[in-house]
Amino acid sequence: TFAPFAVALLLALLSPEAQGQECSGQCQCGAGPGPTCPAGVSLVLDGCGCCRVCAKQLGELCTERDPCDHHKGLFCDFGSPANRRIGVCTARDGAPCVFSGMVYRSGESFQSSCKYQCTCLDGAVGCVPLCSMDVRLPSPDCPYPRRVKLPGKCCEEWVCDEAKEQTAVGPALAAYRLEDTYGPDPTMMRANCLVQTTEWSACSKTCGMGISTRVTNDNAFCRLEKQSRLCMVRPCEADLEENIKKGKKCIRTPKISKPVKFELSGCTSVKTYRAKFCGVCTDGRCCTPHRTATLPVEFKCPDGEIMKRKMMFIKTCACHYNCPGDNDIFESLYYRKMYGDMA
């Protein structure tokens, strides 16, 4: 019974499909920017340096053309003998993560809830939303759109409310003090297009690298599109309380002693930046960005790839008592926004 199985396995490895996994020296990629990867899966160059592919995840089969997700510290373990063409994505040695009482290996992906796909990476957990983060702008047929939780459904959906008395910023903004807003008048007309731009959302993380998003139709086709920028309110490793002056309860914008380089998925910013960050308080107040700018930042990855991302740079911060009341920073993204620049 073993002989037929061995012959079948040998034929599979010698088949054109298996042979095609090796690099031939000529790149043959399909048209377009590349495939659309599931949430939390990196879009990377294949092992031949030719085409962009969705990286293989922990425990999945990998080949020379189908690499593992190096952003998560995974590598293709071909085992022995060394001439094997098919391997298994394995995590490099890294600290495990403890999340909601569960232990996850470095490089392992999991769903923390129906709303988020998370990944453990050397002791740190990062999550991306599975629910749509779209923003519905007011329109004549729906002047007061509102996102609500419907029975039996995981993700919130938009509903239209009748006109009612609301504050200038709406109840959703209670957790953050308003930022000053810069840029064009959002009600201006241009070529039969009513230009509308939402404010930047609050940073997805209270420390470390996060994401801020907005929606605008300020483009040649007057179509709604979602824009995103990186953001860092403060470094996670900084002990800011020790910088509070005697007799004071807050440090609003602490001075960083030396320029810093930003890190994103294993890639490092090409330039160093003397960035400003928001501080902390000892009396229950929280400090958040008040004035910001959006600038491009270039990151260089270990494989030599250069990627450019927009990033929020803080000008001033404000300390206040309007702080998030829940423990789920991801959940709070749906209801709390941070007014920023229009860059």
- Checking if the pLDDT of 186 tops 50, the result is no
Edge-to-edge strand order for the sheet containing 210-216?
210-216, 225-231, 306-320, 286-300, 267-269, 263-264
pLDDT at 326 over 90: no
pLDDT band at 217 (very low <50, low <70, confident <90, very high): confident
What is the reported pLDDT for 242?
Answer: 72
Amino acid 270: pLDDT: 94
Cβ–Cβ under 8 Å, residues 299 and 264: yes
Neighbours of 207 (CB within 10 A): 17
Classify the C-alpha dihedral 331-337-340-343 as positive or negative. positive
Of residues 158 and 122, more confidence is placed in 158
> Which residue has better confidence, 260 or 144?
260
pLDDT at 161 over 80: no
Cα gap 87→193, rounded to integer Å: 53
pLDDT at 251: 82
User: What is the structure's pLDDT at 269?
Assistant: 93
Angle at 160 (CA atoms; ends 155, 166), nearest 5 degrees? 105
Q: Is the pLDDT of residue 163 over 50?
A: yes
The residue written with tokens 């086709």 in the block is 221
Which of the listed ranges 72-76, 135-139, 246-250, 259-263 does the model predict with the highest average pLDDT? Answer: 259-263
Q: Is the pLDDT of residue 1 over 60?
A: no
The C-alpha angle 280, 284, 290, rounded to 5 degrees, equals 50
**Triad 121, 125, 128: Cα angle to 5°:** 110
The C-alpha atoms of residue 189 and residue 194 are separated, in whole angstroms, by 5
State the pLDDT at residue 312: 94
Mean pLDDT, residues 102-124 taken together? 81
pLDDT at 101 over 50: yes
Calculate mean pLDDT across residues 282-307. 88
Mean of per-residue pLDDT scores for the chain? 73
- Write the CB contacts of 268 (distance below 8 Å, at least 6 apart in sequence): 261, 262, 299, 300
Strand partners, 142: 139
Residue, of 277 and 165, whose pLDDT is higher: 277
Q: Is the pLDDT of residue 110 over 70?
A: yes
Report the pLDDT value the prediction gives residue 310, as an integer from 0 to 100.
92
**pLDDT tops 70 at residue 141:** yes
Rounded to an integer, the average pLDDT of 312-336 is 59
211 or 84, greater pLDDT? 211
Cβ neighbors of 160 (< 8 A, separation 6 or more) are: 141, 142, 143, 144, 145, 146
Is the distance from CB of 196 to CB of 189 less than 8 angstroms? Answer: no
Q: To the nearest whole percent, how much of the chain has pLDDT over 70?
A: 73
**pLDDT, position 162:** 67
The pLDDT value recorded for residue 299 is 92
How far is residue 26 from each of residues 14, 20, 31, 45, measured CA to CA in Å?
21, 12, 16, 14
Q: What is the mean predicted confidence (pLDDT) over 314-331? A: 63
Domains of the chain: 97-129 (2.10.70), 131-166 (no CATH), 173-332 (no CATH)
Judged against a pLDDT cut of 70, whether residue 36 lies above it is answered with: yes
Query: 157, 151 in Cβ contact below 8 A?
Result: no
122: phi then psi, degrees, rounded to nearest 5 = 50, 50
CA dihedral 196, 200, 204, 208 (to 10 degrees): 150
Confidence at residue 175, expressed as pLDDT on a 0 to 100 scale: 34
pLDDT at 333 over 50: no
Q: What is the pLDDT of residue 243?
A: 72
At residue 166, the pLDDT reads 40
